[in-house]
Chain A
Amino acid sequence: MTETTIQVRINHVPHTLATGATLADAVACAAITPPFAAAVNLQFVPRGNYAAYVLVNNDRVELVAPITGG
């Protein structure tokens, strides 16, 4: 039987997404505002690839934004 959902972590918070969900779906789920960048399982994913990047169970998504730094 095929699972209809997957479990992913977005910025370390557990989320349930539909099977076949893409990184674009994860970004929408996180309601993050630009500018930001994304990585999945510690690998950078360019902005233009979000819609084509299909997530799988237990993927770890990081969405980061500019902040002060030294």
Chain B
Amino acid sequence: MTLHTPPNDVLTLYGETFNSRLMLGTSRYPSPHVLLEAVRVSAPAMLTASLRRQTGSGGEVSQSFWSLLGQANVPMLPNTAGCHSLQEAITTAEMAREVFETDWIKLELIGDDYTLQPDTVNLPAAASALIKAGFKVLPYTTDDLVLCQRLVDVGCQAVMPWAAPIGTGKGPINPYALRTLRERLDVPMIIDAGLGLPSHACQVMEWGYDAVLLNTAVALAQDPVVMARAFANAVLAGRAAFLSGAMQSQDNAQPSTPVLGTPFWHHT
């Protein structure tokens, strides 16, 4: 079975359009070949990557990864993972722009090493500085409504709230906050981090989120390639469900089969 995006239903970020609403991380796969296959079957809009010091044999690893990215031929979304200060984030973004030759940046400003929770106090200032420097900023953030609004206020044309802390696979831990956020903000929003199952991705897409970004849920599956395809289909299903307009849930049962003419009808 193959699902298809509804006609003309493209994801638009900073004026650029993407045919996929799935973004995929490139880390923790069992092999480069598996990563490449996962990318092939899921056809993501973007691939995330990072920068690290190159030392010793790390050069070969980096070269191999660089070659793989060329084969994947998917737009890159470099991140600022591991940055704890505004200056670290800005410098990392500038280095990423030169290496990856793109203005896109996934802004990660970590405030707590244990939970990898974003530094919510300094995130808007970092986003503002990067936008002024010409970056297309996709900020990794919590599901806090006011914080996301501030990110939009400083010029972010999309925000990326977490479903749960990075790598936990717990799925949306605060549905109320995420649904409220979706209702209140009118910019593209991408759920980034914390998804573990395709049903999680489908759920947030049904709520009206515009895309999902995930890594660990695919990379650490026993069969990452099959899981990548499952996530791609889940995203399409959730998006289609959102666009189709779901029925309202209700407390009382209502028969779906017509009652009129029921044989052996009994009166109680």
Interface residues of A (CB under 8 A from B): 11-13, 30, 32-33, 35-39, 42-44, 46-47, 62-70
Contact = CB atoms under 8 A, between A and B. Distances in A.
Interface of B: 25-29, 35, 48-55, 58-59, 61-63, 65-66, 69, 78-79, 81, 87-88, 90-92, 94-96, 98-100, 166-167, 193, 215-216
A62 B116 CA distance: 24
Interface centre among A13, A39, A68 (most CB of B within 10 A): A68
B26 A69 contact: yes
Given A62-B53, A64-B51, A43 B91 contact: yes
A61 to B, nearest CB: 10
Contact of B50 (A39, A42, A67): A67
A9 B241 CA distance: 55
Contact of B54 (A43, A44, A65): A65
Contacts of B166: 70
A63 B54 contact: yes
A36 B54 contact: yes
Contacts of B25: 68-70
Contacts of A33: 54, 59, 62-63
Contacts of B90: 44
